[in-house]
Amino acid sequence: LNRRLEQINSRLIILTGHPEEVIPRVCRNHDVDRVVFHEEEATEEKLCEMKLRDNLTPRGVAVNSYYGATLFHPGDVPFEIENIPDVFTAFRKKCEKHVQIRPLFPEPETLPPLPGSLSQTEFELPGETFFGFSPQSPSEKSVLPFKGGEQAGKERLHHYFWDKDLLKKYKETRNGMLGADYSSKFSPWLALGCLSPRFIYSEVKRYESGRVRNQSTYWLIFELIWRDYFHFISLKYGSKLFHASGIKGKEYKWSRNNDHFRIWAEGKTGIPLIDANMRELNQSGFMSNRGRQNVACFLAKNLNIDWRLGASYFESLLIDYDVCSNWGNWAYNSGVGNDPRDRYFNIVGQAKRYDPDGDYIRYWLPELEKVSDEFIHEPHRMNVETQKSCGVEIGHTYPFPVINLEESYREILKRGA
Ligand code: FAD
């Protein structure tokens, strides 16, 4: 970002602290008379924006804020925020019918220079240790190296749409779990503002007129509308999104079994689909959508653990962490959000459907590498001899299942979840 800003006569300045304190200080010290920012949707961010305005306006500093995070501009959606439908399809259909997606702004060719006093101040880019993290190198097993910045985000889009022509079959591949190209992997760049949904939309339209327009090209936009939806739901419900009872106000009796939570988080449940996905998250900061749905459902429904522990754990690790998408999807999969049907998954059924040959399991659980296709999704079913023949000892080199899945499904039905 700094490189791009320098090309157009400006530069990036990084300050650390609470924005509502730091920004007014900069304004005071450098005679700044206008502050412009992009609005966010979740409660803590909204509170921060409010305090910032309160601290700036009385000092005569003008404040302008804009929305740039969503495909549909909040000013264009055919609902008052408090009337955003609680069912996605109702939201999507009406927006698709009535909202014209705004065109992209042209990129500025130049920006006014920073005030003299600011441009001379040295600001250092804080490294990861500044924030209390120990330095980490990205896992080589990650679906992508995930380089930050707009340039890298655009290169990924170019690869996915134009070089490899993958968009035309996105709808058939998007439920995969293994590899770089089953889905777009745009989420980290979207979450960090390096790619905008409107830019992606405009590229889909260009692809549709230059290459092909089909269900897959539409489906990528459909998924971006899901993303929008959780952003609007967050605006509508504010802090309710973080309540145990969620936006539905459903009072389940959640368990706080720390051992079960730890086993889930470490990827040691003895249920390969769950473990492989959690190990991918732990080692790379990414997990497929199919994986996320299954591990969330398993924690909240099969283990009956307070879903917010899972959402917080994801928050601490995801490289594409987005408050609205994370908490909205967690609530949805835990039965306290926007799913009108409140479903649960048959975990082994999902594993057999989306990883039929067990390649994904073997990739992230090398201890099961030699297990045959027959047992790869339920290795505890192997007898001792079969275990020996593939170098596995259930209960020793790979755990017994932490719970009996069949019993847990009966419990879910009993609880009425
Ligand atoms: P693609 O399939 O290529 O989709 C394209 C884009 O559409 C994504 O980049 C994303 O921006 C959007 N999208 C797709 N599915 C969803 C969805 N269900 N909800 C919202 N947006 C969607 N996504 C995040 O960006 N940040 C999160 O913190 C996050 N947490 C999640 C937690 C749970 C429990 C679940 C079930 C889903 C979560 N998702 C989150 C949504 C989804 O899993 C990821 O956006 C997706 O896996 C990212 O991969 P992709 O870019 O290749 O997706």
Nearest residue CA, atom 21 of ligand 1?
227
**What counts of helices (H) and strands (E) characterise the chain?**
19, 2
Q: Quick one: how far is CA 329 from the chain centroid?
A: 9
Ligand 1 near 185 CB (within 6 A): yes
Ligand 1 near 190 CB (within 6 A): yes
* Collapsed DSSP state (helix, strand, coil) of residue 222: helix
For residue 296, what are the contacts with CB-CB under 8 A and spacing of at least 6? 307, 310, 329, 330, 333, 334
- State the distance from the centre of ligand 1 to the C-alpha of 289, rounded, in angstroms: 6
First to last CA, the chain: 46
Q: Helices (DSSP H) in 43-177: which residue ranges?
A: 43-56, 88-98, 116-119, 150-157, 170-173
Of residues 348, 354, 361, the one with CA closest to residue 404: 348
In angstroms, the CA 327 to CA 228 distance is 13
Digit-by-digit pLDDT tens for the chain (417 residues) are: 888 899 999 988 888 899 999 999 999 999 999 999 999 999 999 999 999 999 999 999 999 999 999 999 999 999 999 999 999 999 999 999 999 999 999 999 999 988 888 877 777 777 878 888 888 888 999 999 999 999 999 999 999 999 999 999 999 999 999 999 999 999 999 999 999 999 999 999 999 999 999 999 999 999 999 999 999 999 999 999 999 999 999 999 999 899 999 999 999 999 999 999 999 999 999 999 999 999 999 999 999 999 999 999 999 999 999 999 999 999 999 999 999 887 899 999 999 999 999 999 999 999 999 999 999 999 999 999 999 999 999 999 999 999 999 999 999 999 875
Could you tell me if residue 391 is left (phi over 0), alpha (psi between -120 and 50 degrees) or otherwise beta? left
CB–CB of 113/119 below 8 Å?
yes
Question: What pTM, to 2 d.p., does this model score?
Answer: 0.97
Looking at ligand 1, which atom is closest to the CA of residue 190? 11
| DSSP H/E element including 227 | helix 215-237
Nearest residue CA, atom 11 of ligand 1?
187
In angstroms, the CA 198 to CA 78 distance is 18
Of residues 411, 296, 305, the one with CA closest to residue 347: 296
The best mutation among 223, 277, 295, 299 to test binding of ligand 1, ranked by most ligand atoms within 8 Å of the C-beta, falls on 223
Token digits for 78? 């055919």
